[in-house]
Structure formats: C-alpha cells, structure tokens
C-alpha cells in the first residue's frame, strides 16, 4: 500500500513540477480547469457564491438569537462560544476570500475576546475552573491565527 501511495506521489510530482514543461504552464489537473490558477481558487458559480453568503448570514442570525438568549439567562457561555465559532467556520468553509473573510474573522476574534473577559469574571467568582480558561485561550489563539492568515497580503 505504501508503495502504491509513493508511486502516485512521484507521478504527481513528475507531472506537475518535475519537468520544464510545468514552468511554462499549469499541469494536467490545473490546465483541465481552463484556468492558470489552482482549482481551489477558480471562480465559482453565482449560485454557489450566494449559498456561501447565505450560510454566513444564517450563522450570524443564529448567533444574534443566542446572544439575546444569553442575556436572558437561557443560553450558556459554551453555546455562545460555539455559535461565534460557527460563523467563522461558515465563512472559512464556504470559501470566502479577501476582505470579506477577514472581516468575519475579525468579528470572531473580537467576540472571543469579549467572551474571554466574561470567562475571567466567572473564574474569579469560582463559577468556572482553570480548564474553561485554558479552552478560551486556545479559542483566542485559533481566532488570532485565522485572522492573521486571512489578512496576509491584504491592505
């Protein structure tokens, strides 16, 4: 099985990057898309773009509902963290790029920072333990990474 995987990898390297031909244009799989850019960055249909934006919109709507519910005491802090993260996932997984993705991820980072403050208050009161703070710090690091990654090359 390893030999088969190694052979497939070598064939791909030879076809895409191992010849001087690849320097003048895209390799077979890349050329098949009809574009010089990688297939994952190719233009999507308007329908797919609309579905991607709708997914983010619905995740934001759910987050707003849960924020109201949290203010009334019927939603947990964990549910609020999860809903905030769902918005970020919706944006990333739906293929948003550039400033729109950066803006969503900035909102996520800011939400995590605000929820971190609530977690600190609860930790000081003994309502949550150190493990909750550790999880929040991991979420904050994730949010910072995602934002930095999405912001690379943007003004």
Residue 32 pLDDT: 40
Over residues 87-132, the pLDDT tens digits come to 999 999 988 889 999 999 999 999 999 999 999 999 999 999 999 9
| Tens-place pLDDT, residues 44-62 | 889 988 999 999 999 999 9
Q: Are 139 and 112 in contact, with CB atoms under 8 Å apart?
A: yes
Q: Give 105: exposed, middle or buried? Use CB within 10 Å, 0-12, 13-18, 19+.
A: buried
Give the model's pLDDT for residue 49.
87
The Cα–Cα gap between 86 and 55 comes to: 10
Contact 150, 101 (CB under 8 A): yes
Domain ranges of the chain: 44-151
Residue 89 CA, chain-centre distance (Å), reads 5
Q: In whole angstroms, what is the distance from residue 96 CA to residue 107 CA? A: 14
60: nearest Cα among 96, 9, 24: 96
- Residue of 102, 99, 80 lying closest to 146 (CA atoms): 102
CB 99 within 8 A of CB 116: no
- Check whether 11 has a pLDDT greater than 90: no
19 vs 96, residue with greater confidence = 96
CA distance 1 to 58: 43
- Count of C-beta atoms within a 10 Å radius of residue 4: 8
State the pTM of this model.
Answer: 0.68
């Amino acid at each position: 099985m390893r030999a088969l995987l190694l052979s497939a990898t070598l064939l791909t390297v030879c076809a895409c990057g191992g010849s001087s031909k690849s320097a003048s244009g895209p390799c077979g799989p890349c050329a098949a898309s009809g574009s010089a850019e990688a297939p994952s960055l190719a233009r999507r249909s308007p329908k797919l773009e609309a579905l991607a934006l709708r997914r983010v919109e619905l995740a934001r709507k759910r987050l707003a509902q849960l924020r109201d519910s949290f203010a009334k005491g019927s939603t947990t802090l964990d549910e609020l963290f999860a809903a905030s993260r769902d918005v970020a996932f919706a944006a990333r997984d739906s293929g948003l790029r550039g400033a729109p993705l950066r803006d969503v991820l900035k909102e996520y980072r800011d939400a995590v920072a605000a929820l971190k403050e609530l977690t600190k208050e609860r930790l000081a009161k003994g309502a949550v333990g150190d493990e909750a703070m550790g999880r929040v710090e991991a979420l904050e690091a994730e949010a910072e990474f995602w934002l930095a990654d999405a912001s690379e090359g943007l003004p």
